[in-house]
Every structure is written in structure tokens, then in C-alpha cells.
Amino acid sequence: MKQALEEATATGTDVQDHDHHGIRQVLRELGIQEINAAYSTGLKWGGTDNEQLLSITSPTDGKLIAKVRLATAVDYEQVVRTAEEAFTTWRLVPAPKRGEIVRQIGNKLRDYKDPLGKLVSYEMGKILQEGLGEVQEMIDICDFAVGLSRQLHGFTMHSERPAHRMYEQYHPLGLVGIISAFNFPVAVWSWNAMLAAVCGNVSIWKPSEKTPLVAVAVQHIIKDVLRENELPEGIFSVLIGDAEIGSRMAADERLPLISATGSTRMGKKVGAVVGARLGKALLELGGNNAIILTPHADVDMAIRAVLFGAVGTAGQRCTTTRRLIIHEEVYEDVKQRLLSAYPKLPIGHPLQDGNLVGPLIDKDAVRMFSEALERVQAEGGTLLTGGEVLSGTGYETGTYVQPALVEAKNEYHTVQEETFAPILYLIKYSGEVENAIALQNGVRQGLSSSIFSLNMRETEAFLAHTGSDCGIANVNIGTSGAEIGGAFGGEKETGGGRESGSDAWRVYMRRQTNTINYGTALPLAQGIKFDI
């Protein structure tokens, strides 16, 4: 292992003496050993002697991975001051040079993809291929950001005044606060941090208190790059903290942009606080995503998409398929195929080959899963299969569940809400595709949507401005699996934010219109005369 990474082992986690599934070795490879600090400002780990320790256990086997020390208000101030100082230097670095730093970060992530992906899987509970895929998303966004660093273009336009030139340009905002969720503990941070970095900003990251260790690991990897390029502390910072730290970030006028990923309930609180100080909020919140299956669907293809969309990551994706809107002509066929497939789903430890469904993040998530099933049945829904909390050998944690299929109606209160667990509601429709689209749109969330049909008129109706009201609308693919190149986010209670590709970079910059008079006169706009 690289000597620089060994030296980076500083202070933030009390790692336990075990090697469950090789995790102890993984922690060593990632530079996480006897750590005792609450924050990192890029090159430096630190923190006050806060006695409040948070135990991090794996939802996969219930084993204690580490104990982390939570940041205090004093720690927070130190991080912000260091970030402000770093910004004064980083904003002066030419954008393509900033892109070069991001390129090096991407290469380091390639070097550590296997151990980092394994830690994501063990700490969060997603299967190993998904953990590795999440790290690959980080690598991909680095590649995207490198190219973007040479394309932060503005616009020119014609002035109505002679001998005048007008154009628009973009400047970095400053400090970007990033509040990430447990289900994608590193990828979503990278979507924000890498774009913010090439735009000339510095970032302060509060990872989920349920998955802080992968954030610690990423900071160690970044530390190598900062040291090798003799860059200042604070370009990338992390705070290991609870909701109080997130509240401080939202209220802090020194952070002009807060990017927050999580539940709609959390996003409304953050948005209100940021809005009250007229800051900018990038919110990526809940989804209640549907797939429409019309009579013209390729059902074989659709079933595969439905299965991954509904049970991948144990239903803990914001893009998870939660509703399946099926035309009455194919309803029974689709229902029977799913009833055949669901009991065969390989459920178990995510680091064991062959398993496709891992655990829920904790017992609170299991409780919400069970309560949602009770409520929807009380409303008139029918539980077709699944819904059990698994027990016995391999399931001792009580966090593994059998994904559930439920016949329901779209108007049920429980169906209208997002339950972050593997529950798929089967909803029947009749008539034209517009009826299915109305059901698809008939919820408060608007993240991802999909239609399976080989009929061009149906698919074009779904994509028209009168079709899906979601930020993502797919044809003949599922609701999960967004690519880096497109802007990611949704409408309504999903928050309206956009991250990742396309022109999402603009949110990390402030827009400025410039007018230059290179003539000898001073004509006023709109032909106004103001002679003295």
C-alpha cells in the first residue's frame, strides 16, 4: 500500500480488531486505522475532545465496524474557516488546471475501486457489484468534470447600443455544503464535489451518520492528491456529525449553496432554512417511481427491469420502482411472472456471490417496511407474496426482508407515500395510455418514470409535455440506473434540483452579465434621453 496513504492515517475512527469478510484489511488499505477525529480539512484531520461516540455497525451481520467521534460547533467553525482560506487560492487556479486535479482524483479512485467498493457494500448493505458500481460512478463523474473544466462557457449577445459589447460569464460561488444520504454514500457526494471543484468552489461534506466510514476513506484518497500537488487544506472537507451539523450548514450564510439528498421531510426543512437567508438549495429528495406496461410492451424485457428496479439495493434507491401500472390485457400475465420470480430472489449477505438482495440499512427501516404493509392492507390492498422479516442463520441482524408484491390502488394513502423498502404496488389500468400516465403523475413526487411499449404513439405521448411529469422519463428501460451524462433530479416534492451531467454545473456558479462600451459616446438603453 502506498506510503502516503499510510501516513494519511490520522484520526476519526476506532477500528475494531476483526476481519469479517476481509473488512479489516480493507480498512487498512483505505488508510482507516486508529482514528479519533471528527473532521478532515483535506490535508489535516482534527477535532475537539468530544466524548460523544457513534457506533457504526454493518447491517449485513450486525458487527461493530468502528466508533466515530462526532464534530462539535467548534470543529465546524474550524472547517469553515479553513475552507474559506482555501477558496481564496483555489478560485485563482485556471479551470483546466482544476480539472487536472480532478483527473488525478479519478485515477486514485481507480486504484482503490475494489476496497472502497467492498467497504460501501459492507457499511451500507448493497451487494458488492452495486458497491463497485457506485465507485465507478465516482470515476465517471471525475472524467466528465475533467472535460467540463474546458467548457465552462458563457454567452455573447448583440447590444442595442452602438459600440457596445455584451456577454455573460460564470464565477464560482465559494463554499458548497453537501449533505448526502446513506443509500449512495459516496457517489452523490462526488456528483456535487467534482463539478463544484472544476467550477472553482470548495466543498464541505456531511455524510450520513449511518455511513461515515466510506467518507473517511474517500478523504484519505483525496489527501494523497492534495499533498502531491501542494494544494491548500480545505478544498475538500468532511464533517462527521449528526443532524445538528446539517442544520448549521443550512443556516450558514458563508455557504451560498447547500446540496441536500434525502427524504422530502428533510428537504423541506433544509429548503426553508436556506431560502430564509436567500441562499441556493439543490434538493434531490424522494421518489415514488412508476413503470407503465401497455398492451404493446415487450413483457420479457420489462420483467427484468421491474425486478431490478423494485428490489435492487433492497428498495433503498430514490429511483426504486415502487408502482407498476399494468394494462388489464397483460395484467394477469405480468402478475404471475412476478409471483414466480419473487420467491426465488437470492437474499443474503451482500458480499457473498450470487446474492441479489441485501439487508435494509437498520431496524427502523424494517419497521417502516412492516408498518407500510399493514397500512396498505388496511386500506384494501392485497399482499400477494413476501413481506416477511427473515430470521435464522445468516439473518440474525433482523434487517433482511422478503420483498413484497401488493395489489393496490393508486389513491391509497400508503401508495402515495414513499416507503424506502422493497414494496412493489401492482396497479391495473384500462383504456388508453393517457389513463396510465394520469396514474403515473398522480403522486406528489416526480423523480423517475418509465414506459414499456413498442407502440411509438404511446411512447411519444409519454414523453410529450402532457406526458410524464418527472425529471427522468425512460422508454423500454427501468426507473433505476441513470447515466452520468444526463442531469439527475426531479420535480414536485422531489425538490427540483439537478445534479451530475448536462448543464447541472451552472448551479455551482453565479451568473454575471457584462456590458462594455468601447465607443466615445454614452447612449442609454431603450433610447432614453437624460441630457443635463
Question: Which residues are known catalytic residues?
Answer: 284
385 phi-psi bin (left φ>0, alpha ψ -120 to 50, beta other): beta
Q: Do residues 151 and 100 touch, judged by C-beta distance below 8 A?
A: no
Picking from 500, 64, 168, 126, the residue whose alpha carbon sits closest to that of residue 313 is 126
**Which run of H or E residues covers position 281?**
strand 280-284
User: Packing angle between helix 128-148 and helix 113-124, nearest 10 degrees?
Assistant: 120
Residues 320, 289: Cα–Cα separation, whole Å? 6
**Contact (CB, 8 A) for 45 and 67:** no
Phi, psi of 72 (to 5 degrees): -105, 180
User: Do the Cβ atoms of 88 and 95 come closer than 8 Å?
Assistant: no
Of 207, 257, 197, give the one whose Cα is nearest residue 229. Answer: 197
Can you say how many angstroms the Cα of residue 256 is from the centroid of all Cα atoms in its chain?
A: 20
Kindly write down the DSSP assignment for every residue of 136-199, as one continuous string: HHHHHHHHHHHHHTT----EEE--SSTTEEEEEEEEE-SEEEEE--SSSTTHHHHHHHHHHHHT
Report the alpha-carbon distance of residue 402 to residue 407 in Å, rounded: 16
User: CA-based angle 424:343:300, to the nearest 5?
Assistant: 65
Name, in order, each residue with C-beta under 8 angstroms of 403's C-beta and a sequence gap of 6 or more.
Answer: 310, 311, 314, 315, 342, 345, 357, 386, 422, 423, 424
From the CB of residue 380, how many other CB atoms can be counted at a distance below 10 Å?
A: 10
Quick one: how far is CA 383 from the chain centroid? 31
Amino acid at 29: E
